[in-house]
Amino acid sequence: MNATATEKLQFRNIDIHSIPILQKYLSMATSRTCDYTLAGIYMWAGYFHYKYAIAADTLFIKGVAENNLQLPAFSLPIGRLPLNKSIRILREYCYERNKTLTLSAVPADIIQPLYEIGNITTQELTDWADYLYNAADLATLKGKPYNKKRNHINRFCSDNPGWQMEVITQRNIQEITDFYKTYGQPAVDSCYVTAVVEHDQTMRVLQNYFSLGFEGVALRTPSHGIVAFAIGECCRDTLFVHIEKMRHDVSGAGETINKLFAEHMLKLHDITFINREEDVGDPGLRAAKMSYHPCSILKKYNVTFI
């Protein structure tokens, strides 16, 4: 007797013990969008109600849509199964619950293959598109478009002689955590729930940093101590910058940590692109990300099978 989709897909909670399993399958993802990285799943598991299941050597993740927390949705399956077969399992799973299948955060280049599988409707997630940059541009900041960025960095270096960049290690992780406790609180007038969630999950990453396989650097000055840090992960040819925090009262700290992290990671890894993730509809974040002149905006979609 054939197993039902419900029997095949036994979903489990995502926690620190899930990391090795998730890493195995996420390494097979081909998209440059941040939704198929470890941090993209682990940091946002609570907010999007992510759970995972493994069936036929393929990773299935269910949760809710990125733009609608009331709409049950799934990520694109990743693993051995061909796309049409993994979608068939998800459609059967939804049919058994009298639901239609919705996939959320689907990269633009997967839309056509999904049209070939079945009748679908699409909705662009404009607030959740990723900003992609040429790694060499952010590591060097060469050319007229980056004049203001270089000026901010020069100001930082002038104001803070003796500054140092440090790789995040056991020796400085507590000091970085203490810095974030002091300077990382979201603005009290922030209307973006995601800012509060991101704050809490950044703390979670710092507390479990050495179990996650991420890489990061911190920026230190003689007078202020830690003034900024950045954390990311490399997947294939892309560095994903998941966390970047700085003291806003220290002029140029943000621009400096941005450049130093890009430069550091470009030396260590064979990367071509840097993904600085979404703006979640925040005008300030959008302006900041555009000021670094992305080479591409990676669009994402909700896809519903009808």
Digit-coded pLDDT (tens) for 111-169: 999 999 999 999 999 999 999 999 999 999 999 999 999 999 999 999 999 999 999 99
Say whether pLDDT at 107 is over 70. yes
- pLDDT, tens digit, for every residue of 171-226? 999 999 999 999 988 765 555 678 889 999 999 999 999 999 999 999 999 999 99
pLDDT (mean) for 281-296: 96
Residue 268 to residue 86: CA distance in whole angstroms: 36
Contact by Cβ (8 Å): 248, 228: no
Task: Give residue 10's pLDDT.
Answer: 96
pLDDT (mean) for 73-100: 97
Q: Where are the alpha helices (DSSP H) in the chain?
A: 5-8, 19-26, 38-42, 83-95, 111-115, 135-140, 147-159, 173-183, 193-207, 209-212, 253-268, 283-290
Instruction: Report DSSP letters for 137-182, one per residue.
Output: HHHH--SGGGHHHHHHHHHHHHHSTT-EEEE--TTTHHHHHHHHHH
pTM over 0.85: yes
pLDDT, averaged across the chain: 95
Q: Quick one: pLDDT band at residue 3, thresholds 50, 70, 90? A: confident
